């Protein structure tokens, strides 16, 4: 291995590069620039461009770090996003650029930006991305993929195996994989689309306050659904009624997926290549309620998920209780799952009331 050193270059010279090995770590941090990373063969990570004196690099054994002078090093971004918020509030004073890197396809990538997009292709060692408002797009990225963003759109697409963890406040999330080896998605208002074959042993979650959830799944998986005022529908030919509450079972149901919404719709269909599921009003398939529930009666026809009407005195989702719970959710005091539980059981709207 080459001796560890910090690499410098004058403007206009060849790109900076470092031998990180097949499974090294590459980090890149910036404030507003778009980050584009491509996995290639070999063991060398290189900064393709641009030529700019404010783009700093550091090389240590098995690791290559790239950052702009107005961004902290990666450990600072991994421990919090306050610097990202500061950039968005107070500005940055320069024009946005595109920072391009080529890295060994087996490496691990860590990337952070405040408002720039992150685009990654053909990296197979897993990635972690932090952004405040930038979009995140990956193609043929496999392994453990973790994304945290406030409002950016997230699109993770591969024909291979993927374990995805996505946390976003209002961004749309699209996850499409040949095999879903792990799944944890949480969003407040963004739409979530997930497609792929669920691997055996997966214990996944999808939670959203008001975003719609479209699932196009294969494999052996039990899907448990919970929605307070949204609708749940299955047009999947292989979906059998769940035996432990609202939801469906595909195959022998050994894997598990819990889907929770406050007011977003939940749709389950068979995986295909025809794009996202149709809108609820035009979707075909079964009746407009969870597969485990009986057909709605006159008393429950407005609540196809089997819950009582929100205006009912016996339902915790009425009046001031609903408002308190939703405000606690908005403040970040509770998560979507806890908000759903409190709306159903009548628990108070904040921790201080417990």
pLDDT digits (tens, 9 = 90+) for 114-127: 889 999 999 999 99
Q: What is the pTM of this model?
A: 0.75
**How does residue 80 score in pLDDT terms, banded at 50, 70 and 90?**
very low
285's tokens: 């398939």
347 by Cβ neighbours in 10 Å (0-12 / 13-18 / 19+) ranks as middle
Segment 101-105 shows an average pLDDT of 97
Segment 184-188 shows an average pLDDT of 91
Look at strands 34-40 and 98-104 and give their pairing.
parallel
How many residues are listed for the chain in this entry? 354
| pLDDT of res. 132 | 87
Kindly report the CA angle at 274 between 198 and 256, in degrees rounded to 5? 15
pLDDT at residue 207 is higher than 60:
yes
Choice between 53 and 140, residue whose per-residue pLDDT is larger: 140
Mean pLDDT, the chain, whole residue set: 77
| pLDDT of res. 245 | 75
| pLDDT of res. 243 | 77
Dihedral (Cα; 300, 304, 307, 312), 10-degree rounding: -50
Q: How far is CA 299 from CA 142, 157, 241, 312, in A?
A: 48, 43, 22, 11
Segment 298-325 shows an average pLDDT of 40
pLDDT at residue 270 is higher than 60:
yes
pLDDT at residue 259 is higher than 90:
yes
Segment 265-272 shows an average pLDDT of 92
pLDDT at residue 105 is higher than 70:
yes
The fraction of the chain above a pLDDT of 70, given in percent, is: 68
Segment 342-347 shows an average pLDDT of 64
**How does residue 71 score in pLDDT terms, banded at 50, 70 and 90?**
confident
Query: Which residues have C-beta within 8 Å of that of residue 71, sequence separation ≥ 6?
Result: 29, 30, 31, 77, 83, 112, 113
| pLDDT of res. 320 | 60
Query: Which residues have C-beta within 8 Å of that of residue 130, sequence separation ≥ 6?
Result: 77, 78, 81, 84, 111, 112, 113, 148, 149
| pLDDT of res. 9 | 45
Instruction: Report the DSSP beta bridge partners of residue 149.
Output: 131, 168
Task: State how far the Cα of 249 lies from the Cα of 255, in Å rounded to an integer.
Answer: 10
Choice between 335 and 132, residue whose per-residue pLDDT is larger: 132
**Backbone region of residue 196 per phi and psi (left: phi > 0; alpha: psi in -120 to 50; beta: other values):** left
pLDDT at residue 22 is higher than 70:
yes
Q: Are 155 and 174 in contact (CB under 8 A)?
A: yes
pLDDT at residue 178 is higher than 60:
yes
Single out the residue of 232, 249, 229, 231 nearest to residue 240, CA to CA: 249
Looking at residue 302, what DSSP letter applies? T
Segment 202-220 shows an average pLDDT of 94
The fraction of the chain above a pLDDT of 90, given in percent, is: 50
Segment 265-292 shows an average pLDDT of 56
Segment 68-89 shows an average pLDDT of 52
């Amino acid at each position: 291995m080459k001796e560890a050193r910090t690499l410098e270059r004058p403007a206009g010279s060849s790109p900076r590069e470092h031998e990180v090995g097949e499974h090294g770590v590459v980090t890149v941090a910036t404030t507003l620039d778009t980050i584009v990373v491509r996995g290639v063969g070999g063991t060398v990570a290189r900064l393709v461009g641009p030529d700019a004196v404010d783009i700093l690099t550091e090389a240590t054994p098995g690791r290559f770090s790239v950052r702009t002078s107005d961004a902290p090093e990666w450990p600072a971004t991994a421990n919090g996003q306050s610097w990202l918020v500061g950039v968005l509030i107070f500005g940055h004073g320069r024009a946005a650029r595109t920072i391009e890197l080529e890295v060994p396809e087996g490496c691990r990538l860590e990337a952070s930006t405040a408002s720039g997009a992150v685009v990654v292709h053909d990296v197979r060692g897993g990635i972690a991305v932090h952004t405040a408002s930038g979009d995140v797009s990956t193609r043929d990225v496999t392994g453990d993929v973790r994304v945290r963003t406030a409002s950016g759109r997230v699109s993770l697409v591969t024909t291979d195996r993927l374990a995805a963890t996505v946390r976003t406040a209002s961004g749309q999330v699209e996850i499409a994989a040949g095999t879903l080896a792990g799944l944890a998605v949480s969003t407040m208002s963004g739409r979530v689309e997930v497609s792929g074959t669920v691997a055996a042993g997966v214990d996944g979650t999808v939670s959203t306050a008001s975003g719609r959830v479209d699932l196009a799944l294969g494999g052996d998986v039990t899907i448990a659904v919970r929605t307070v005022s949204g609708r749940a529908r299955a047009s999947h030919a292989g979906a059998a009624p769940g035996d432990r509450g609202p939801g469906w079972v595909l195959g022998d149901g050994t894997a598990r997926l819990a889907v929770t919404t406050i007011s977003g719709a939940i749709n389950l269909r068979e995986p295909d290549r025809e794009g996202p599921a149709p809108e609820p009003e035009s979707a075909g398939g079964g009746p407009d309620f969870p597969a485990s529930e009986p057909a709605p009666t006159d008393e429950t026809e407005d609540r196809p998920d089997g819950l009582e009407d929100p205006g009912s005195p016996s339902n915790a989702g009425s009046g001031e209780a609903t408002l308190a719970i939703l405000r606690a959710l908005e403040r970040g005091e509770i998560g979507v799952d806890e908000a759903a539980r409190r709306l159903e059981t009548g628990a108070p709207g904040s921790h201080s009331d417990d």
